[in-house]
Amino acid sequence: MYAQKNNLSWKLHGCKWPNHAHSRMVDVGAQRWHVQQFGQGPDLVLLHGTGASVHSWGKLAGLLASDFSLTIVDLPGHGFTSAPRAQFMSLPGFSQLVAKLLSHLQVEPRAIIGHSAGVAIAVRIALDKLSKPDMIIGINPALLPFPGPARMIFPAIARLLFMNPVTPRLLSWRAQKTAVVNRLLEGTGSQIDAQSLELYALLFQSPQHVQATLAMMANWHLERLTSDLLGLEIPLDMIIGGSDMTIPPEAADRVAEIVALTRIELIPRRGHLVHEEDPVTVAQCIRKLIDNRAIDETELPAGKAAN
C-alpha cells in the first residue's frame, strides 16, 4: 500500500540509518510514519528540516539519550514516512499530522527541537494548541519569509517543479551523482562527513522524497506564521550557526524582536547543518537552554519567564 517504485526501502536501506535498531513504522490513519524512540528522562521531540530525515539527528540523539526520552520522526513524504494526502501538504497540514502522531504515541514533550522548517512545524503546533510543549528550541529556524522579490519567486519556481510529474524522477536521477548532492550541501555553509553525505544522496535518489521536498518549498507560506508569532505563549530559544548560508544568522535577531520569550546561542564558524557538524556543542546548548528554562519556572511568578 505504501511502497512506491524507486523510493527508499527499509529492507534495503534501513540498516544504513543511524540508530536504526530503535526504528519502527507507526500507522496513524492513512499515514505511515518512520519513528525512532529511545533514551530516558523527559520527552523531547526532534523534527528535521526540508529534505532531511531522522538520520540528521543521529549523532546528536546519541548524546541526548542519556538524559532525555527521544521521539524522532521522518516528516511526511520524507525518508521512510509515506507521502501525505494532498490537503495536508502545507505547514498547517504537516503540523496537524505530527500532532496526531504525538497523541497516538502518548508523547507530551518537555520540548520540541526543530531544525530549519521543522521549527516552523513546532511553532505552528504550539500556536494552534495541538500539543503542549513547555518550550521550543529552534536550530537555524526557518520562520520568516524570504526577503524581497525572492518571497514570490522561490515558492513559484518550486510550485512549477512540483506540478511537473517528471521533475522528481529527473532530480532523483541527478542525485545519483554524489558531487551534485555535495555541492547542494556545501551551499548551506556546512561540512558534513562522508556517511551523512551518502545518506543525503540516497534520500535524493527517492522520487517521493524529492517530491515532498518540493511540495514543502511550494506550499510553505510563512506570512501568517510570522504574524502569529506575537501570540506564542511558550519560550522559543534558538541555536544559530554563525556561518549559515541558507538562513542569515541575523534572522534570529528579527525573530527575537517578535517573540517575547527567547534566548539565542550562537555557534561560530558552523553552517545551516550545525547539529550535524558539531553535535557535541549543540547538545551542550540544548541542555543549557532546558536547564535555564527550568530555573526560570522555579524562580519567577507563574506565567512569566526571563528573556
Per-residue pLDDT of the chain (307 residues; tens, 9 = 90+): 333 446 899 999 999 999 999 999 999 999 999 999 999 999 999 999 999 999 999 999 999 999 999 999 999 999 999 999 989 989 999 999 999 999 999 999 999 999 999 999 999 999 999 999 999 999 999 999 865 443 444 444 444 433 445 444 444 544 455 666 777 888 899 999 999 989 998 998 888 998 898 888 888 889 999 999 999 999 999 999 999 999 999 999 999 999 989 999 999 999 999 999 999 999 999 999 999 999 887 765 544 444 4
| 272 domain residue, yes or no | yes
Q: Which CATH number goes with the domain that contains 62?
A: 3.40.50.1820
The burial of 291, by beta-carbon neighbours within 10 Å (0-12 exposed, 13-18 middle, 19 or more buried), is given as: exposed
| 202 domain residue, yes or no | no
Asked if 124 and 95 touch (Cβ cutoff 8 Å), the reply is: yes
Q: How many CB atoms lie within 10 A of CB 288?
A: 14
Asked if 300 and 292 touch (Cβ cutoff 8 Å), the reply is: no
How far apart, in whole angstroms, are the C-alpha atoms of residue 204 and residue 199? Answer: 9
Which residue type, as a one-letter code, is found at position 272?
H
Total domains in the chain come to 1
114, 48, 285, 238 alpha-carbon torsion, rounded to 10°:
-40
Closest residue by Cα to residue 93 from 251, 254, 218, 246: 218
β-strands 236-241, 264-267 pairing: parallel
| 305 domain residue, yes or no | no
| 116 domain residue, yes or no | yes
| 168 domain residue, yes or no | no
| 307 domain residue, yes or no | no
For 215-259, the DSSP string reads HHHHH---HHHHHHGGG--S-EEEEEETT-SSS-TTHHHHHHHH-
| 183 domain residue, yes or no | no
Domain that holds residue 14: 10-148+222-299
| 198 domain residue, yes or no | no
